[in-house]
Copies of this chain bind each other. A is one copy, B any other.
Amino acid sequence: VEYDGTDFCGFQFQPQARTVAGELERVLARIFGREIKVTAAGRTDAGVHAAGQVVSFDAGGNVPLEKLPIALNASLPPDLTVREAASAGETFSARFDALERYYVYAVLNRRTPSAVLRRFVHHEYRALDDGRMRAAARELCGKHDFSSFCGVPPENGTMVRTLREVEIERRGELVLFRFAGESFLHRMVRISVGTLLEIGSGRRSATIGETLAARDRRAAGLTAPPAGLYLAGVRYADFCSLPPDWWKMADN
């Protein structure tokens, strides 16, 4: 599933708000003639986009898989589109069976904001030192207690996560931060980017090691705005929703 998150109050269903789950469930109910609940690989916040979100639901019985994306897209709003449908085992959960999640955070690094990209990048007018940000990103990778980089802690469970990779790619005025990891804490990517931007613009003296060690949200940087963030894709045992040319593009 792909969406422009600008005009959604996030993925998770809320009775009085426009949400991705709410729109999907409304259209699925119409197609299948009964109530359907969806589960997402990543419960994105308000304003966050997705290129390769994966959603599972119990359709109960035979489904014309080939026609499902076209039927859904005909009824969904234009800022929410379904790219593909596939059948999975009865116990499959888009959330709990995900092996790795891929996020991209896009920063436009120039003096003036961009009219064309305004919904899809965070504008940082300060000069950024890519080398310093890359060194800090390397420190962030690995298995750590990410309490300092967590918005709302999970209800029960550990704050330890393994961040497999943070790649920083510059394409002229655009800086792309690519994150790969099995799972992420609430706002972990946006707080990480906010902290890396403070390091890159020379506004921060604490190292990533010190920030991690503090285990306190107040030790890290500001949460970067949602517009720059994309859930790029999700990997499962036998399927990956990441666009096929995603890593290749990163190599350019």
Interfacial chain B residues near A172, Cβ < 8 Å: 243-245, 249
Q: Does A83 contact B (CB under 8 A)?
A: yes
Q: A69-B112, A111-B69, A112-B69 are in contact. Are A118 and B78 (CB under 8 A)?
A: yes
Q: A171-B245, A245-B172 are in contact. Are A116 and B252 (CB under 8 A)?
A: no
Are A114 and B2 in contact, CB atoms less than 8 angstroms apart? yes
Interfacial chain B residues near A118, Cβ < 8 Å: 4, 78-79
Chain A residues at the B interface, C-beta cutoff of 8 Å: 2-4, 49, 51, 69-70, 73, 78-84, 111-116, 118, 120, 171-173, 230, 243-245, 249, 252
Complex Cα distance, B173 from A161, in Å, reads 34
Are B115 and A2 in contact, CB atoms less than 8 angstroms apart? yes
CB nearest to A83 among chain B residues: B112
Interfacial chain B residues near A244, Cβ < 8 Å: 172
Extra pairs beyond A3-B116, A73-B113, A172-B244 (17, CB < 8 Å): A2-B114, A4-B115, A51-B116, A69-B112, A70-B112, A78-B113, A78-B118, A79-B115, A79-B118, A81-B112, A82-B112, A84-B112, A116-B230, A171-B245, A172-B243, A173-B243, A252-B252
Are B113 and A49 in contact, CB atoms less than 8 angstroms apart? no
Are A80 and B2 in contact, CB atoms less than 8 angstroms apart? no
Are B115 and A171 in contact, CB atoms less than 8 angstroms apart? no
Complex Cα distance, B252 from A82, in Å, reads 29
CB nearest to A6 among chain B residues: B116
Complex Cα distance, B69 from A21, in Å, reads 41
Interfacial chain B residues near A81, Cβ < 8 Å: 112-115
Complex Cα distance, B161 from A211, in Å, reads 61
A103 to chain B, nearest CB (A): 14
Complex Cα distance, B6 from A79, in Å, reads 14
A104 to chain B, nearest CB (A): 11
Listed residue (A49, A73, A112) with the most chain B CB atoms within 10 angstroms of its CB? A112
